[in-house]
A and B are shown apart, each in its own frame.
Chain A
Amino acid sequence: MLLDIFTYSFMQRAFIVGNVIAVICPLIGVFLVLKRLSLIGNTLSHVALTGVAIGMIFGIYPIYTALAVSVLAAVGIEKLRKNYKDYAELSLSIILATGLGLATILISLSNNNSGIFSYLFGSISMVTRQDVLTVIPLAVVIIGVILYFYYGFFFLAFNESDAKLAGIPVKILNLLFMILVSITVSLSMRIIGGLLVSSLITLPVAGSLQMAKSFKQTIIYSIIFSVLAVNTGLFISFYYDLASGGTIIVASVIYLIAAIIYKKINSFLYKRSELKVAVKD
């Protein structure tokens, strides 16, 4: 019976956390991708690993330490981004190098390789009640803040210098947004794993951009793509005993390819129908 999967309480927790993350990752991702900062997710997740390692060494709940470290890093990126205005990606490389360097040292100190492994690649069996109780309220905060400043974030993504003239508090919103990204990344590590978080931030957005006709649609479609991918991935992960991060991301890639093919077929049909009309005329 297919629905056996929901009789396991760890799977119920995995589905709850997974679906919440499936909403917040692309929601943040749309703005990140359009600001051309999609690699930030990658950077912050590596930095968050440092936080996880710190948590394990000191016996603190690792998501909290990951949150603290990645928020700090996010503030750092925003500061460096101002110093290297024309080389935004350079600030990311600097922070990524620092984060990964520290994480490697701390992981070798902690001697808890299996624990770290679950944060690298995601693990559905390890989702705890505490994870559920941490993820849900923080996700509500993220969705609330994005809704609250919706057009502000939109304008920032479209054109930062014009946003300033429209009276949008550019500096504050940029910083706030970076903090939202770091929270999203830290929360997603449990299910997706640190190495793959950035994929769930970017892949559904890439698929959505193929077909969306407005900014709002871009957000809605990317959430649909991501929810589909997460649930498909979780099912496969459970039945074939595979790391959930991997199955979710491969599912995202498949949906992305489907979106690209759909668009190709659509534009081909559109061109043919236009051609027919032209011939008739």
Chain B
Amino acid sequence: MKEIIKVKNLSFNYEDEYILKNINITINKGDFIAFIGPNGSGKSTFLKLLIGDLKTNSGEVKLLDKNIKTFKEWDKVGYISQKVRDFNSSFPATVKEIVGAALYQEMGWFKILTKRLEQRIDKVLKLVDMSDYKYRKIGELSGGQQQRVFIARTLITNPEIIFLDEPLVGVDLKSQDEFYNLLTKLNRDLGITIVMISHDIYMISDQANKIFCFGNKSIFVHQAKEFDYVNYLNQIKGDNKSLIPKHEHQRRDNRCC
């Protein structure tokens, strides 16, 4: 099995407070990984360490067999941040222009779109079922549709892995379902490795094959099939199951739940 990510002895701290300590993790090609855990448990931090947005204090991160410090093949990596929809909603750009911009490195001398590149835009828009919106302005679309456009923008460079940091905040439930189905399609049909932070335990444990549970400065790995999400949710106070308030993370037999 091809290793997409290998993390060795990684530790990370903000001043004297350790967020993550001595982490050893491997992510294989074709995995669909879900990061879950309470706020402040280090999910986003770990994701940023994996894409080199933050620097490790000690240890090593290897992405596609290359040390993250010298990693250059960004076209093989997609990243959809929490802030991706945090743009100026009256920005006068069409779906085509936004998706096309990601082809920057493949454009010729002049950084403009050619017919050949435009065909690739059509192909990814079809994949995310947004072909009819090619000439629509991005700000006119719903949250779920915008998210699909950003997935298309990520897909257009044929990435091997896509990272998603809570991509569904503020998206309605029906669109969330469709979005999960799309991710599953990308994962199963195209073999794209997916790493996703989510608070939606029900959905994510259904789609993912592995669950990374964050707590106590560590990461505990579960096979999704064995993950007892009812038990996990029972530890969570309050009724709102999609948002996890801070809770004590108990550790039993190297399992967090």
Residues of A within 8 A of B (CB): 34, 36, 147-152, 154-155, 157-159, 161-162, 165-168, 209, 212-218
Contacts and interface: CB of A to CB of B under 8 A. Distances in A.
Given A162-B79, A166-B102, 18 more contacts: A34-B92, A36-B88, A150-B112, A151-B100, A151-B104, A151-B107, A154-B101, A157-B91, A158-B91, A158-B98, A158-B101, A159-B87, A162-B84, A166-B105, A166-B157, A167-B104, A214-B94, A218-B92
A34 B109 CA distance: 25
B92 A212 contact: yes
Given A147-B112, A150-B111, A158-B87, A217 B92 contact: yes
Nearest to A144: B110
Classify the secondary structure of B's interface with A: loop
Classify the secondary structure of A's interface with B: helix
Given A152-B104, A159-B87, A214-B137, A165 B74 contact: yes
A161 B81 contact: yes
Contact of B104 (A36, A168, A215): A168
Contacts of B97: 154, 214-216
Interface residues of B, number: 33
A44 B200 CA distance: 49
7 contacts: A34-B92, A151-B112, A158-B98, A159-B87, A162-B81, A165-B79, A167-B105
Given A165-B74, A216-B97, A155 B104 contact: yes
Contacts, number: 78
Contact of A209 (B87, B90, B98, B107): B90
Interface of B: 51, 74-75, 77, 79, 81, 83-84, 87-88, 90-94, 96-98, 100-105, 107, 109-113, 135, 137, 157
A213 B137 contact: yes
A166 B104 contact: yes
Best-buried of A157, A166, A168 by chain B (most CB within 10 Å): A166
